[in-house]
Chain A
């Protein structure tokens, strides 16, 4: 940006806000619309946002953002202008936003960088590094969908660009802002250590067999545009998550969210991983990544070794998705799907009545009677009662994470998943595919977790 502005050149919104803030500091009488107050939203609180990537995930983030006050979408960008871009553009019009639509992200950033506060990036993983770099170098804050990148080198580029720019980068591990997860981390694990010594973690995301994503043939992207943006067909564009070089397969798409929780709740990173997986079910010509992966991580914590199993399969939906943290005093079952969340006290653990009295847990529900005659069978422990959390969360899953990002831009919060945490998770997860390919246990060098 030029140091000198001609007198008649229109100033950008961001410049105006900066000047207003400077003027506010210099004089004592300031208009209400600058400072805000009852009935007045200061311009610095109204954030101008660009959406880069208008596919399914971009639409999820957009719809969640539309439920947050003082967010204005000024620009939208997607290479599928015949369908997804049109869809998001029209949607925003119905909400009285007035965005400009772009096919190429470079045009959007060049045209809008002085007016935007942030860009939400929800493009395929292999574009993340270039898109995030471009936005950060233009001085924009970035909300970046996970996985940070499909490669470690791509994730490093984002880390470095974030450092250079000094701008905020929130990685889209939205569970880190979810009230159930925050409550579990802050109260159950950190403050009251209800689980005792955590020894074992078990998690899964099981999905039923699904057909490939199709597309309305009359709205197909022309072949030349597909090639320009790295796709060799509409089939590949619509199902990029399955292709090497574009995405990371199910363990990255699904597992990344949950393995991120392993790292977060244990306050450390794994030391080793071994994994089994393969192209066992789908046509490998269109499903290059492993359709099922079973991985075991080893963590060395201050309390001792933790072994953490994770499974993702795409051929059966049994039990859906959840994570279980098991310690010698209790087990925490948690999921983005709220109904599963609960904590179970081991029989020999101290009573949790005080936590119920303090409102940290709700009163336990007695376990159902087991339909068995082996009541005296010493091989099985009596099932513990379930304590739940006094939380009622019915917002869209991504809304709290977006709110945290927007509030961080306003200086009213700190990021719940800054780029450093996202990078650690990317390193953790991307090595799972390596371990499957290697067919043996791989270790993590602690230096790997630093870009």
Chain B
């Protein structure tokens, strides 16, 4: 008995140490690995009279912290679109890691409400989504809605992580998020670790035209073990 007790204490201590290390690793945060493209503004920005518009930060966005090991799970994954024949460009430009604004780096989807869906090909904890619609010109896109789900039809475990549809014209409810002006920083959405496999992006035109553009969409997360 006298020999068993120290061993038991030792094992208990080791277990506690192991659990603590694991928890520390889980809690360890690091900036997400996000490289920004070159800023590019061309042409004449139009007048923008947009309700619920957020004020520009006026300085670079601070790094976004997520659990260490978080990566862009969307890169090169299977992607689909409501517009099967885009006006110009190809759908796979959306998750090819090319975030430049020039011709050949973006896809232009048809007018009015359109969406694209990325299959992460695994269930994942998602910490941040960053989307660049079009940063060649100062624009605001309307009815930007981002959802995460477990299935491609968006029936199971659907979570809306961003919605700036102020009049419910897209049909997902009135959004509480603000409109924003496109910049080369992209729009970073805090996904708060939501779990899912499919990420869908909606939009319904912009302040310059009725079309829907995507330069890049990145989904930062970690596969669920």
Mark A residues whose CB is within 8 Å of B: 56, 63, 66, 83, 86-87, 90-91, 94-95, 208, 210-211, 213-219, 321, 336-339, 392-394, 396-397
Contact = CB atoms under 8 A, between A and B. Distances in A.
Interface in B64-111: 85-88, 102-104, 108, 110-111
B47 interface: yes
A208 B88 contact: no
Contacts of B110: 91, 94
Interface stretch (B4-12, B36-44, B180-188): B36-44
A41 B87 CA distance: 30
B47 A393 contact: yes
B46 interface: yes
B209 interface: yes
B111 A397 contact: no
Contact of B88 (A56, A90, A337): A90
Contacts of A392: 49
Given A87-B108, A94-B111, A394 B49 contact: yes
B189 interface: no
B111 A336 contact: no
B173 interface: no
B41 A87 contact: no
Interface string B157-199: 0000000000000000000000000000000000000000000
Contacts of A338: 47
Given A83-B88, A87-B108, A396-B46, A214 B208 contact: no
Contacts of B86: 90
A66 B110 CA distance: 13
Given A91-B211, A392-B49, 4 more contacts: A56-B43, A83-B88, A87-B87, A338-B47
Nearest to B136: A56
B45 interface: yes
13 contacts: A56-B43, A87-B87, A87-B88, A90-B88, A213-B102, A214-B104, A215-B104, A216-B103, A337-B47, A338-B47, A339-B47, A394-B49, A397-B44
A87 B109 CA distance: 10
Interface string B128-149: 0000000000000000000000
Interface residues of B, number: 24
A414 B48 CA distance: 29
Contacts of B111: 94-95
Given A83-B103, A215-B104, A91 B87 contact: yes
The 3 closest A-B pairs by CB, nearest first: A216-B104, A87-B88, A63-B209
A215 B103 contact: yes
A336 B44 contact: yes
Contacts of B47: 337-339, 393-394, 397
B173 to A, nearest CB: 26
Contacts of A219: 104
A216 to B, nearest CB: 3
A86 B89 CA distance: 10
A406 to B, nearest CB: 19
Contacts of A336: 44
Contacts of B102: 213-214
Given A87-B88, A394-B49, A210 B103 contact: no
A339 B45 CA distance: 12
B45 A337 contact: yes
A399 B53 CA distance: 24
Nearest to A67: B210
Contacts of B209: 63
B96 to A, nearest CB: 13
A396 B46 CA distance: 7
Nearest to B211: A91
Nearest to A86: B88
Contacts of B103: 83, 213-216
